[in-house]
Amino acid sequence: MSSLFTPLSIRGTEMRNRLWVSPMCQYSAVEGVPNDWHHVHLAQFAAGGAGLVIAEATAVSPEGRISPEDAGIWTDAQAEAWAPIVAAIRSRGAVAGVQLGHAGRKASTTSPLTGGRGTVAPAEGGWSTVAPSAVAYDAFAAPVALDAAGIEKIVTDFGDATRRAVRAGFQVVEVHAAHGYLLHQFLSPLANHRDDEYGGSFENRVRLLVRVTEAVREAAGDAVVFVRFSATDAADGGWDVADTVAASRLVADAGADLIDVSSGGLVPHQHIVPGPGYQVDYAETVRRETGLLVAAVGMIDDPTFGEQILADGRADAILSAREWLRDPHYALRAAAELGAESPAPAQYLRAY
């Protein structure tokens, strides 16, 4: 019996297996509206047997986009453009998820598809960025510190985006609190220098994420809510694994159903050495210390490796990103390798 191909049911939503597609920005939307590229890109993973396909970091407001080409869901028109993409994922047997994000001080940057790096100037389609504090990331433009009204708007935007996502048919909503983006910036003392109720102590730094999770939970109805953390900043004085464990408990109390455990992205001087399964220890720690459902991610490129992680009780599901780009039918290959029943569509069964 394969652990990877054992279904997982959360809040009544059943994922047919535990080999999932991690969110991947495509930098291919126009004014936040997803298109034909997103449709083919995401639906192919569902045809390829994924249990869950999570669409890229999707901005809850225009200023929350990482690049001007990011997808969004801050308008009804964007949600309507997502709906057929969601239907294409679901009709192929996968659960459809979306990651909701706000890039904070890492917004308004050049799309990597153009080979550039750094801030896009307002004259070239960029915008002025916001963050917990007016502290720049690397050589990016300095952000403006959010005031109280700006913080309220972040909470409202995540709630409204969730309502639109659910209306578009998404069954899982992931709150992006990782990789140095806005919510992570609030968590980490390296980016958050506030002296109000959103900065200083751990309780204050997690406050915005807890409020956002509550708003998302309320707007999500029966949909499943994930939170993605960077378990550590891997830098002196930064957010660490013990903080992640404590914050995981708080977001679970606020309504999160699963913790997705990544790392890094907050500061350029982080010390992270990527290698096979380099973040699994963090996932295992969160799972052991909290008893919550946990997904592991990060260079888990091999079905037998993923199988072992689950069989050893280190995580409840495996998220992969680049392996799906190398092989969009990754789960069909994995099932064949592990001798599990194939999730292949009927049209493809002659190949298995």
Ligand X SMILES: Cc1cc2nc3c(=O)[nH]c(=O)nc-3n(C[C@H](O)[C@H](O)[C@H](O)COP(=O)(O)O)c2cc1C
DSSP H or E run through 14: strand 13-15
Least Cβ distance, residue 76 to ligand X (angstroms): 22
Contact 172, 224 (CB under 8 A): yes
Contact 103, 182 (CB under 8 A): yes
Q: In the chain, which ranges are continuous DSSP H helix?
A: 36-47, 76-91, 148-168, 182-187, 202-220, 241-253, 280-290, 303-311, 322-326, 330-338
Whole-number Å distance between alpha carbons of 109 and 127: 9
DSSP 8-class letter at 124: G
Q: 130-131 and 19-21 as β-strands: parallel, antiparallel, unpaired?
A: unpaired
DSSP H or E run through 76: helix 76-91
Whole-number Å distance between alpha carbons of 1 and 23: 28
Least Cβ distance, residue 102 to ligand X (angstroms): 12
- Closest by CA to 21, choosing from 92, 115, 127, 107, is 92
As given in the structure block, the two tokens for residue 176 are 């992006």
Least Cβ distance, residue 149 to ligand X (angstroms): 27
Burial of 78 (0-12, 13-18, 19+ CB in 10 A): buried
Which phi and psi (to 5°) does residue 153 adopt?
-65, -35
Contact 43, 88 (CB under 8 A): yes
Contact 49, 331 (CB under 8 A): yes
> Does the active-site annotation cover 330?
no
Residues that bind ligand X (CB under 6 A): 22-25, 56-57, 99, 176, 178-179, 228, 262, 297-299, 320-323
- Give SS3 for 327: coil
Least Cβ distance, residue 320 to ligand X (angstroms): 4
- Single out the catalytic residue among 181, 198, 282, 330: 181
Whole-number Å distance between alpha carbons of 230 and 252: 16
- Give SS3 for 247: helix
Least Cβ distance, residue 103 to ligand X (angstroms): 10
Q: How far is CA 19 from the centre of its chain?
A: 15
Least Cβ distance, residue 114 to ligand X (angstroms): 14
Whole-number Å distance between alpha carbons of 294 and 142: 35
Least Cβ distance, residue 279 to ligand X (angstroms): 8
Whole-number Å distance between alpha carbons of 186 and 14: 33
Catalytic residues: 181
